[in-house]
């Protein structure tokens, strides 16, 4: 099969195109096209389209608009001050040269719309109200469709290139909020820039091509999309056209009745026009081949030397997205004769090719026409003097074209990259129900009593600075209520004060604290001794049932039978006032909590429960209530404060899998140099095998829950969140391929507990696996997928942890890696919204 394929590809084919001996007739598959007649018919088509434009404007004056356009397109160096200003670097939605105040075009845009409203049969006044005549409006849109079709045909036949349909579908004359325009004023020529990427998977990005339609066509084109399209967008909205359709008129070129023209439409239009002009209904593919052959002939092609190609011929072939070899094989095995060297810039070359073609079809600008020698009307090639004159004209213009085109291409690639990243994140989110969960905040909670503040003073003593947040005050005040309370505050906000202050508020009552943070229990126990509160740890201390006030219960003991019997004994159960569950998010994810559910449910039927957490996602609260069998939501309250911390700097970057460890090692070296003697760093690994490999490579220990919670090394590797005091500040953390947002947030929570700026580096090579629809995803895999890919502020991607989200600049926080990039973009370019109202004030 490979042999047959190779033989077929190497077999010299017979050209579909053939010239007559006088080179006046070009035949395709035996169907003759008389070239001089074809050229004359192009002029007739231009005249017909001009008449259609006149009819479309319904006696609305537009000659002064055409004069204004003409003065801005004079191809002469002395006319440069009058050329339209076009800022190619602008990415502002809605921007085109029409929006530049210096160009003076904005005043013309609403003229036709106002005229049609006041002086046509499209709108009529009935009892002082403006009413649309639907029949007349449909007729007007039909006329506009014919004009657009005619302009498309004239562009294809006068710009000297043969694009595929996919190149010019959705062609834009103005920026859209998520895509950039394709047409620019470059050196006085209105130039359309397209990119064809059929072989992108093989060759990478497609080649950028620039083509200039004939001056006579450009002036009508600008009039239509600058004035007629403007009117069509508003009228379409008024007549009930869908927003997405009527809005196309404000940025797309080839639009018919609000819908974009596509390859099938382009092919049909070409066939209809060519049936009249060429005598053969040439559609896209055949028309490209004929135009290719004609273009190469008009730019001096020959049958002599088949080896040495002139740069201008190579560029002419490129305008059709094929190589010279392909052009020879399929378009008449010929090449141009030797000609004057042209400027190396691709755009300058393409503009020269376009102008040479326009000189050949006699649709060149009158100023240029007066400078080039006259030729035989039926000639099938340009005189050398004509090409030399065009080259001389463009040579002085070509200096800055390459730089401007490169700028356009870079912006286009950046926009595409951002668009696809954003689309991927949004698609992942749309796979799930992302409705904001209901709030359990009880609006009828008791007012904060002064004793609650006094209890805080008693617990903190000399450390009390007089500052207390409203959420902290509400949480302390809820100790004596009958409500089940969810207390969600950021790390370091003093959630533990809720149970440490409880004995001061209700000194004769008993409180239980169930916690998985075993290493911190001894700290709390010492704190009780310091405060003079009778209490201790179940299983470690002798506890007096009649006098004990606060009991800490390790999670692995809370589910045991002995503790269950003790807590349900007569001497204990009548004194219990509230159960505090520390790290309550673990109820759904930690198997040790599952063993305690029987006890929790029993206690919850008698006494209220306070669920404490710094990373409890709002969407998981209903599942916790279900597990606890709490059904009466009138006895549920939610006290939540934004968990984001301004002193944390969040950096997310993607690295290829083989470079993950190299990047971690370089970050360790880089950040260690910035650390003070008492500061430390943590590397979070996804698996224990990865942790061991990192530990071996960097020479740092692996943390385990049995480790001392005071840090002894500058760096350590961990697969879980360590527990230690603020006295050992963690300044940097590195997270390798985090799998869910809940664990990632808890890992960052140990950073900067002293309030000083600290940095989290998240390095990822592959996204977490997308959870199945049946998976409740309590850890937040899908939220992690969105966070890793978001092009926006990383803090906004943490919205799943709170009911609100704020970007870095909102509360003066350390800028995340995305916000640092966003600050490089001017404000007016970063806003994503449509730039035009759907209806003007006078409709």
SS3 labels along 691-707? HHHHHHHHCCCECCCCC
- 86: in domain: yes
CB 322 within 8 A of CB 361: no
Last residue of a domain, one of 622, 640, 658: 640
Average pLDDT over residues 45-64: 94
Average the pLDDT over 506-522 and give the result: 86
Residues 699 and 582 reside in one and the same domain: no
Mean pLDDT over residues 714-734, rounded? 80
Indicate whether 428 belongs to any domain: no
Q: Which of 104-108, 201-205, 309-313, 613-617 has the highest mean pLDDT?
A: 104-108
Of the listed ranges 69-78, 194-203, 445-454, 594-603, the one predicted with least confidence: 194-203
Kindly report, residue by residue over 617-667, the tens digit of the pLDDT.
Answer: 999 999 999 888 888 888 899 999 888 889 999 999 998 888 899 999 999
Q: What is the mean pLDDT of residues 203-215?
A: 71
> Which range marks the domain in which residue 596 is found?
450-640
What pLDDT digit, counting tens, does each position of 674-721 carry? 998 888 999 999 888 889 999 999 988 988 765 554 556 789 999 887
Where does the pLDDT of residue 131 fall: very low under 50, low under 70, confident under 90, or very high at 90 and above? confident
Measure the CA angle with vertex 401, ends 399 and 407; round to 5°. 130
Do 660 and 632 fall into the same domain? no
* C-alpha neighbours within 13 Å on the C-beta side of residue 188: 23
Cβ atoms of 585 and 616 within 8 Å: the answer is yes
Q: 635 and 666: one domain?
A: no
Per residue, the 3-state secondary structure of 363-398, as one string, reads CCCHHHHCCCCCCCCCCCCCCHHHHHHHHHHHHCCH
Domain boundary among 623, 640, 657: 640
Same domain, 548 and 675: no
Domain shared by 278 and 331, yes or no: yes
For residues 345 and 354, give the distance between their C-alpha atoms in angstroms, rounded to a whole number: 14
Q: Are residues 727 and 751 in the same domain?
A: yes
> What average pLDDT does the structure give for the chain?
79
| Residue 249 forms part of a structural domain | yes
Question: How high is the pLDDT of residue 195?
Answer: 73
Longest dimension (CA), the chain: 119
In a domain, 822, yes or no: yes
618 and 653 co-located in one domain = no
- Is residue 628 one of the residues assigned to a domain? yes
**CA separation for the pair 556, 731 (Å, rounded):** 31
Out of 640, 674, 694, a domain closes at 640
Q: Which residue has the higher pLDDT, 285 or 638?
A: 638
Cα–Cα–Cα angle for 48, 50, 55, rounded to 5 degrees:
95
Residues 627 and 721 in one domain: no
Do 311 and 460 belong together in one domain?
Answer: no
Tens digit of each residue's pLDDT (9 = 90 or more) over 753-797: 888 999 999 999 888 888 877 788 888 898 899 899 888 899 988
Contact of 270 with 164, CB cutoff 8 Å: no
pLDDT beyond 70 at 192: yes
818 within 8 A of 794, measured Cβ to Cβ: yes
Question: Could you tell me the CATH number of the domain that includes residue 725?
Answer: 3.40.50.300
Q: Which two tokens stand for residue 133?
A: 């005549």
DSSP letters along 624-638, please? HHHHTT---GGGEEE
The answer to the question of residue 303 being in a domain is yes
Q: Is residue 445 part of a domain?
A: no
21 occurs within a structural domain: yes
Reduced to 3 states (helix: H, G, I; strand: E, B; else coil), residue 791 is coil
**What is the pTM assigned to this prediction?**
0.51
Phi-psi domain of 208 (left: phi exceeds 0; alpha: psi -120 through 50; beta: other): beta
Judge if 590 and 675 occupy the same domain. Answer: no
- Residues 383, 521, single domain; the answer is no
Q: Are residues 115 and 251 in the same domain?
A: yes
Structurally, the chain folds into a number of domains equal to 3
pLDDT of the residue at 669:
92
């Amino acid at each position: 099969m490979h042999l047959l394929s190779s033989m077929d590809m190497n077999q010299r084919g017979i050209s579909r195109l053939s010239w007559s001996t006088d080179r006046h007739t070009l035949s395709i598959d035996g169907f003759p096209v008389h070239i001089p007649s074809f050229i004359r018919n192009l002029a007739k088509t231009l005249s017909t389209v001009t008449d259609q434009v006149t009819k479309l404007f319904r006696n609305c004056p537009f000659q002064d608009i055409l004069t204004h356009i003409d003065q801005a397109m004079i191809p002469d160096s002395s006319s440069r001050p009058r050329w339209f200003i076009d800022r190619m670097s602008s990415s502002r939605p809605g921007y085109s040269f029409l929006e530049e105040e210096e160009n003076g075009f904005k005043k013309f845009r609403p003229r036709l719309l106002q005229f049609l409203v006041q002086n046509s049969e499209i709108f009529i006044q009935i009892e002082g109200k403006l009413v649309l005549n639907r029949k007349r409006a449909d007729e007007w849109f039909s006329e506009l469709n014919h004009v657009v079709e005619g302009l498309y045909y004239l562009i294809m036949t006068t710009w000297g290139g043969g694009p595929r349909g996919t190149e010019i579908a959705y062609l834009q004359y103005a920026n859209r909020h998520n895509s950039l325009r394709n047409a620019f004023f470059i050196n006085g020529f209105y130039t359309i820039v397209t990119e064809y990427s059929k072989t992108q998977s093989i060759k990478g990005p497609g080649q950028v091509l620039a083509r200039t339609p004939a001056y006579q066509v450009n002036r009508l084109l600008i009039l239509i999309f600058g004035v007629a399209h403007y009117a069509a967008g508003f009228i379409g909205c008024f007549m009930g056209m869908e927003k997405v359709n009527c809005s196309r008129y404000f940025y797309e070129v080839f639009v018919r009745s609000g819908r974009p023209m596509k390859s099938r439409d382009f092919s049909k239009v070409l066939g209809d026009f060519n049936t009249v002009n060429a005598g053969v209904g040439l559609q896209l593919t055949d028309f490209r081949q004929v135009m290719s052959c004609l273009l190469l002939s008009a730019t001096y092609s020959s049958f002599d030397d088949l080896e040495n190609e002139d740069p201008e011929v190579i560029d002419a072939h490129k305008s059709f997205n094929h190589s010279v070899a392909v052009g020879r094989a399929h378009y008449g095995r010929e090449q141009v004769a030797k000609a004057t060297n042209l400027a190396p810039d691709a755009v300058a070359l393409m503009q020269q090719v376009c102008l040479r073609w326009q000189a050949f079809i006699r649709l060149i600008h009158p100023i240029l026409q007066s400078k080039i020698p006259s030729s035989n009307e039926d000639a099938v090639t340009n005189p050398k003097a004509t090409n030399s004159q065009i080259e001389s004209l463009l040579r002085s213009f070509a200096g800055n074209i390459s730089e401007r085109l490169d700028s356009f291409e870079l912006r286009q690639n950046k926009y595409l990259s951002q668009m696809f990243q954003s689309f991927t994140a949004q698609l992942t989110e749309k796979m799930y129900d992302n409705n904001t969960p209901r709030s359990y905040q009880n609006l009828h909670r008791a007012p904060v009593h002064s004793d609650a503040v006094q209890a805080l003073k008693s617990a903190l003593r000399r450390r009390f600075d007089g500052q207390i947040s409203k959420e902290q005050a509400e949480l302390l005040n809820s100790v004596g209520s009958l409500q089940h309370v969810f207390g969600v505050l950021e790390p370091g906000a003093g959630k533990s004060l809720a149970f440490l202050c409880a004995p001061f508020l209700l000194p004769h009552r008993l409180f239980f604290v169930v916690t998985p943070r075993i290493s911190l229990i001894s700290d709390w126990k010492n704190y009780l001794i310091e405060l003079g509160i009778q209490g201790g740890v179940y299983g470690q201390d002798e506890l007096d049932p009649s006098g004990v006030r606060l009991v800490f219960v390790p999670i692995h003991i809370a589910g045991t039978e002995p503790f269950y019997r003790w807590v349900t004994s007569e001497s204990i159960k009548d004194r219990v006032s509230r159960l505090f569950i520390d790290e309550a998010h673990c109820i759904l994810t930690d198997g040790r909590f599952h063993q305690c559910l029987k006890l929790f449910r029993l206690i919850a039927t008698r006494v209220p429960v306070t669920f404490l957490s710094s990373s409890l996602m709002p969407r998981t609260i209903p599942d916790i209530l279900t597990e606890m069998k709490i059904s009466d939501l009138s006895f549920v309250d939610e006290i939540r404060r934004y968990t984001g911390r301004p002193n944390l700097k969040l950096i997310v970057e993607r690295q290829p899998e083989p470079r993950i460890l190299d990047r971690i090692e370089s970050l360790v070296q880089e950040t260690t140099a910035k650390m003070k003697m008492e500061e430390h760093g943590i590397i979070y690994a996804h698996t224990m095998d990865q942790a061991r490999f990192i530990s071996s490579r960097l020479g740092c220990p692996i943390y385990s829950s049995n480790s001392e919670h005071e840090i002894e090394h500058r760096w350590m590797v961990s697969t879980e969140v360590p527990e230690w005091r603020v006295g050992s500040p963690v300044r940097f953390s590195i997270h390798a391929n985090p799998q869910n947002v809940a664990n990632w947030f808890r890992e960052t929570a140990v950073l900067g507990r002293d309030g000083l700026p600290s940095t989290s580096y998240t390095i990822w090579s592959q996204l977490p696996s997308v959870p199945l629809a049946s998976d409740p995803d309590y850890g937040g895999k899908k939220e992690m997928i969105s966070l890793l890919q978001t092009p926006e502020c990383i803090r906004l991607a943490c919205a799943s942890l709170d009911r609100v989200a704020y970007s870095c600049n909102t509360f003066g926080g350390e800028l995340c890696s995305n916000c640092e990039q966003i600050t490089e973009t001017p404000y007016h370019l970063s806003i994503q919204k449509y730039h035009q109202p759907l209806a003007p004030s006078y409709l």
